[in-house]
């Protein structure tokens, strides 16, 4: 054991002494691996960040949420567009659907949701935002609370009052603060609405940039068809999700074909989205891996040069008793150190970049990236090092020793 | 301790086959001091490499301490080179990126059975014996040829080999330094009982050997007892 440790430390010392003599070459060789690892780790970090971000958005909506969406949802092709009007085929839900769902005892809340992206204007400012039409229960379902003013009520909905609640970011941009926005007027699509409340910040760009209005108020020039892009349903607790889904499907099947709508719970949606991200991530990592491959070839190239340069040394070592295996290990150690060094540098650089990016975007580095870095860079070192090292080991001693 | 039986070695040089060693049979006994003489190209170096297990013969057999080496693996041959044989070359063959001390210690790194002595103490003893202890932290290209050859001898002795194979050890040295080196080699034989095989083309150097073998065109032409 002690001998093994000594052998390894000798190998590493030998390798390092050679690197110390050719610093520039060592740095350049490692650079290839560094860039490869950097790109792979960064892509993983950004992918993870994006995933966390979207999961966060979902969690900011209430739990025990069941979504009724047109088309076959996210699980299949031709799914209704998320965040749009769901116009790509499928059902267009209307007030009659809402009414029939309201009759189901399994559901606590039935919230029709109308959504449209548009430019919202105050007296002095303009901002892109979302008009979200729903009923007063929507606030509970989406965990929206008032920071200033108040939320609209059931009577506002039935009266189709021209009032609304502004998202926090939108209020900040349009009026310079949540308090300042109360009682003011916003305009969009030729309509004027009074701001009666400003929502607390959710940290989620859609609701924070939204203007929530009673859904009935949108009927007219904004939503002439009187349809909804989806219906959000709330159930009392998790155990109710499955029976509720079943009932909802039964109810809607009376009117629509099975492929015209989908009833999904949040976790299903999340799974589908995670699947999509899994694919995107794999593609990105595959692209990053190309630079790792190129880096590995760089190492192989340099190691071949090193072997040629040190042919005489190999001969001398063989003459004093080095076995082929000793020589093989010597050169493998060098390529391994080169690539692991490059890998670590790439990882450190990626961590620094992620720390900076975090200010704007929730990128994150996890244990997986660390493991990937070490495993990939060692694998490259061994894989691309083994050919040059074998050439060195197989050199006939006497020819090697005569080599000048 | 080393026995060659009808050993031949030929190389392929382009289309022609060059016979460097032709049917040489030779026995080297323990504690002998043998001079192998021959002009350049006579095949004496090749013969030494075969004796030192750096090359294998095309035909014939080599026995080291009774063992037929043609049946040994690379690991076994390396082990014999490490423990039993010490080489001294014309061009010293030190590793220039290692210090003198590191060069002398090199064989100990490849000792598979471990060593029963303190390697640093022994290396320092050898360096002191050959008057190069003060140069121990120098790199080989910063010391004189004579000093380099002493380092090479110290390295060859590091594992206490039974036999030293010296291939033209004075070839790159002036005559005064050369005779010092020969003095060291013969004292290894007379004072320490190390078998020495000295390959040279110079008669006055070969004269120091107790037995001389003449090689001409790859063959032993005369034997002196």
Domains and CATH numbers, chain B: 31-57+72-223 (3.40.50.300)
Q: Which residue of B has its CA nearest to A403?
A: B93
Q: Does pLDDT of B140 surpass 80?
A: yes
Q: Does pLDDT of A55 surpass 80?
A: no
Q: Which of A59-68, A136-145, A191-200 has the lowest mean pLDDT?
A: A59-68
User: Do the chains contact at A319 and B52, CB–CB below 8 Å?
Assistant: yes
pLDDT at residue A180, as a whole number = 87
Angle at A32 between CA A29 and CA A36, to 5 degrees: 150
Compute the distance between CA of residue A327 and CA of residue A310 in angstroms, rounded to an integer: 11
Q: In this predicted model, which residue has the larger pLDDT, A216 or B224?
A: A216
pLDDT at residue A197, as a whole number = 92
Q: Which residue of B has its CA nearest to A16?
A: B97
| Residue A179 contacts B, CB cutoff 8 Å | no
Pick the residue of A1, A10, A17, A319 with the most B CBs within 10 A to test the interface with B by mutation: A319
Q: CB within 8 A of A287, min separation 6: which ones?
A: A39, A43
Contacts of A321 in chain B (CB under 8 A): 78-79, 81-83, 107, 110-111, 159
What ipTM, to 2 d.p.?
0.94
User: Do the chains contact at A321 and B97, CB–CB below 8 Å?
Assistant: no
Pairing mode of beta strands A210-214, A163-166: antiparallel
Q: How confident is the model at residue A76 (pLDDT cuts 50, 70, 90)?
A: very low
Strand partners, A164: A195
pLDDT at residue B222, as a whole number = 67
Contacts of B54 in chain A (CB under 8 A): 318-319, 397-398, 401
Q: Which of A75-89, A351-365, B77-91, B168-182 has the lowest mean pLDDT?
A: A75-89
Q: Which pairs with CB-CB distance under 8 Å and at least 24 residues apart come from A385-388?
A: A385/A299, A385/A300, A385/A303, A385/A331, A385/A332, A385/A334, A385/A335, A385/A336, A385/A339, A386/A328, A386/A332, A387/A300, A387/A303, A387/A304, A388/A300, A388/A303, A388/A304, A388/A306, A388/A307, A388/A331, A388/A335
pLDDT, chain A, mean:
84
- Distance linking the first and last C-alpha atoms of chain B: 17
pLDDT, chain B, mean:
91
User: Do the chains contact at A321 and B52, CB–CB below 8 Å?
Assistant: no
pLDDT digits (tens, 9 = 90+) for A329-384: 999 999 999 999 999 999 999 999 988 988 877 788 878 888 888 888 889 999 99
Q: Does pLDDT of A83 surpass 70?
A: no
Tokens 């016979």 sit on residue? B19
| Residue A5 contacts B, CB cutoff 8 Å | no
Q: How confident is the model at residue A44 (pLDDT cuts 50, 70, 90)?
A: confident
Compute the distance between CA of residue B1 and CA of residue A318 in angstroms, rounded to an integer: 22
Query: Distance, in angstroms, between B183 CA and closest chain A CA?
Result: 23
Q: Which of A57-71, A282-296, B57-71 has the lowest mean pLDDT?
A: A57-71
pLDDT at residue A79, as a whole number = 37
Q: Does pLDDT of A116 surpass 80?
A: yes
User: Do the chains contact at A10 and B106, CB–CB below 8 Å?
Assistant: no
Edge to edge, the sheet with strand B67-68 lists: B16-28, B2-13, B59-64, B67-68
Stretch A135-160: mean pLDDT, rounded?
88
| Residue A23 contacts B, CB cutoff 8 Å | no
| Residue A318 contacts B, CB cutoff 8 Å | yes
| Residue A390 contacts B, CB cutoff 8 Å | no
User: Do the chains contact at B83 and A396, CB–CB below 8 Å?
Assistant: no
Q: Which residue of A has its CA nearest to B74?
A: A323
| Residue B119 contacts A, CB cutoff 8 Å | no
User: Do the chains contact at B110 and A315, CB–CB below 8 Å?
Assistant: no
Q: How confident is the model at residue A240 (pLDDT cuts 50, 70, 90)?
A: confident
């Amino acid at each position: 054991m002690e001998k093994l440790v000594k052998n390894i430390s000798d190998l590493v010392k030998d390798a390092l002494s050679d690197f110390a003599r050719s610093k520039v070459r060592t740095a350049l060789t490692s650079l290839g691996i560094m860039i490869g690892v950097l790109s792979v780790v960064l892509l993983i970090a950004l992918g993870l960040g994006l995933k966390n971000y979207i999961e966060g958005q979902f969690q900011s909506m209430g739990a025990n949420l069941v979504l009724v969406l047109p088309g076959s949802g996210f699980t299949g092709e031709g799914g209704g567009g998320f965040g749009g009007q769901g116009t790509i085929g499928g059902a267009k839900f209307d007030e009659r659907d809402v009414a029939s769902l309201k009759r189901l005892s399994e559901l606590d809340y039935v919230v029709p949701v109308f959504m449209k992206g548009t430019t919202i204007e105050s007296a002095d400012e303009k901002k892109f935002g979302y008009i979200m039409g729903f009923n007063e229960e929507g606030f509970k379902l989406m965990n929206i609370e008032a920071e200033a003013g108040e939320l609209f009520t059931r009577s506002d909905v039935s009266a189709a009052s021209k009032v609304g609640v502004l998202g926090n970011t939108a209020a900040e941009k349009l009026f310079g603060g949540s308090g300042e926005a109360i009682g003011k007027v916003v305009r969009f699509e030729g309509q004027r609405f009074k701001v009666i409340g400003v929502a607390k910040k959710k940290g989620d760009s859609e609701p924070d940039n939204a203007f929530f209005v009673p859904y009935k108020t949108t009927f007219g020039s904004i939503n002439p068809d009187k349809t909804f892009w989806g219906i959000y349903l709330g159930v009392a607790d998790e155990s109710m999700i499955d029976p509720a889904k079943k009932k909802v499907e039964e109810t809607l099947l009376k009117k629509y074909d099975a492929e015209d709508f989908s009833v999904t719970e949040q976790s299903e949606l999340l799974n589908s989205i995670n699947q999509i991200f899994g694919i995107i991530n794999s593609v990105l990592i595959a692209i990053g891996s190309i630079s790792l491959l190129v880096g590995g070839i760089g190492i192989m190239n340099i190691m071949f040069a090193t072997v040629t340069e040190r042919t005489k040394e190999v001969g001398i070592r063989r003459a004093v008793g080095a076995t082929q295996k000793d020589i093989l290990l010597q050169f493998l150690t060098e390529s391994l150190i080169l690539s692991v060094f490059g890998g670590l540098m790439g990882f450190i650089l990626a961590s620094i970049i992620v720390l900076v990016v975090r200010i704007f975007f929730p990128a994150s580095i996890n244990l997986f990236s660390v493991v990937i870095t070490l495993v990939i860079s060692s694998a490259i070192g061994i894989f691309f090092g083994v050919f040059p090292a074998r050439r060195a080991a197989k050199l006939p001693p006497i020819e090697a020793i005569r080599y000048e | 301790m080393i026995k060659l039986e009808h050993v031949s070695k030929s190389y392929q040089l382009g289309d022609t086959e060059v016979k460097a060693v032709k049917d040489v049979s030779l026995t080297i006994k323990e504690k002998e001091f043998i001079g192998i003489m021959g002009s350049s190209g006579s095949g004496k170096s090749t013969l030494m490499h075969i004796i030192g297990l750096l090359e294998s013969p095309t035909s014939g057999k080599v026995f080291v301490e009774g063992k037929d080496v043609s049946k040994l693996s690379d690991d076994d041959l390396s082990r014999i080179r490490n423990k039993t044989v010490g080489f001294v070359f014309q061009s010293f063959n030190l590793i220039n990126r290692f210090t003198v001390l590191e060069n002398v210690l090199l064989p100990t790194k490849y000792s598979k059975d471990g060593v029963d002595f303190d390697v640093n103490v022994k290396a320092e003893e050898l360096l002191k014996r050959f008057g190069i202890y003060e140069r121990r932290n120098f790199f080989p290209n910063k010391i004189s040829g004579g000093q380099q050859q002493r380092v090479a001898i110290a390295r060859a002795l590091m594992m206490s080999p039974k036999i030293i194979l010296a291939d033209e050890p004075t070839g790159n040295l002036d005559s005064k330094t050369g005779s010092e080196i020969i003095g060291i080699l013969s004292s290894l034989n007379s004072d320490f009982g190390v078998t020495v095989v000295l390959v040279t083309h110079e008669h006055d150097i070969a004269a120091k050997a107790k037995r001389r073998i003449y090689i001409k065109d790859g063959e032993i032409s005369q034997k002196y007892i």
